[in-house]
Amino acid sequence: DTAVSQTPKYLVTQMGNDKSIKCEQNLGHDTMYWYKQDSKKFLKIMFSYNNKELIINETVPNRFSPKSPDKAHLNLHINSLELGDSAVYFCASSQPEQTQYFGPGTRLTVL
Amino acid sequence: EDQVTQSPEALRLQEGESSSLNCSYTVSGLRGLFWYRQDPGKGPEFLFTLYSAGEEKEKERLKATLTKKESFLHITAPKPEDSATYLCAAASGGYQKVTFGTGTKLQVIP
C-alpha cells in the first residue's frame, strides 16, 4: 500500500497555463505539507495544513493555492505557470509534531 | 532564521570504507533532528529522528548521533546500495516547521 501518493508523476506544460497536483495519504495523519525541491536538491516548505486548516504559508506567490478537501487530501493548484516554477514538488504527511513521510514527487516542467 | 548546513556536498567512498556525514544546525528550540535518504527520482525516505543531545540511533550500517550544534550520520563498511543523497532536517517551534539542509550525495564504489 502506498502511504503518500501524488499524481501526476510528471507534468509538462506551457508558460501561462494553470495546473493541479493531487496528493493523498492513507496513514491517518492530521498534517499535510507541500515542498518544492529545486535543481540543487534543496527542499523548501511551501504550505502546511493541519486538519484542513492552513498552518504554514512560506511566502509563496499567490499563484499557488493549496486546497484540502479532507484530512487525507491536499491538492496544489498553480495559476499562470512561469519558467521558475519548474521543480519537483513533494507532498508529505505526519501526525502533529512527528516525523514527516514523503510522497514520490511530481516533476513539473514549464516550457 | 533557522539554518541547516550539511557537509560535504558530495562524498565518494570505496566499498567498506567507513565515513561520516555532518549536519550543523542553528534553530531556536530544536524539537527534532531528522535524517532522510533520497534516491534519484524518488521522495525522501525517513531514516532517523533524534530529539536530544547525546542521543544515538542505529539501523544496519547507519548510525546517527546528535550534539547541541550538529548531527553526524556514520556509515560503517558501506555498500554500493548505500549510494544516495542523505538529507538532514531540523524541526523547531512546532514540527510543522522543518528546515532541510541541501544534502550530501554519497557514492559508494564497488
The pLDDT > 70 percentage for chain B reads: 97
> At B88, phi and psi to the nearest 5?
-115, 145
- What is the mean predicted confidence (pLDDT) over B36-49? 94
Asked whether the predicted pLDDT for residue A85 surpasses 80, the reply is: yes
Containing B92, the helix (H) or strand (E) segment is strand B84-92
State the pLDDT at residue B16: 97
Q: Are strands A106-110 and A10-13 parallel, antiparallel or unpaired?
A: parallel
Q: Please write the tens of the pLDDT for every residue from A38-53.
A: 888 889 999 888 888 8
Chain A CB within 8 Å of residue B6 CB? no
Q: How far is CA B80 from CA A94, B13, B63, in A?
A: 31, 9, 17
Which chain A residues have a beta carbon less than 8 Å from that of B40? none
User: Coil, strand or helix: which one is A85?
Assistant: helix
State the pLDDT at residue B44: 95
Query: Nearest CB to A104: which of B36, B42, B98?
Result: B42
In a mutational test of the A interface, the residue from B98, B99, B102, B104 whose CB has the highest number of chain A CBs within 10 Å is: B98
Q: Are strands A31-37 and A53-57 parallel, antiparallel or unpaired?
A: unpaired
State the pLDDT at residue B95: 58
Contact B36, B43 (CB under 8 A): no
State the pLDDT at residue B7: 97
Chain A CB within 8 Å of residue B19 CB? no
A31:B96 CB<8 A: yes
B46:A45 CB<8 A: no
State the pLDDT at residue B94: 63
State the pLDDT at residue A96: 77
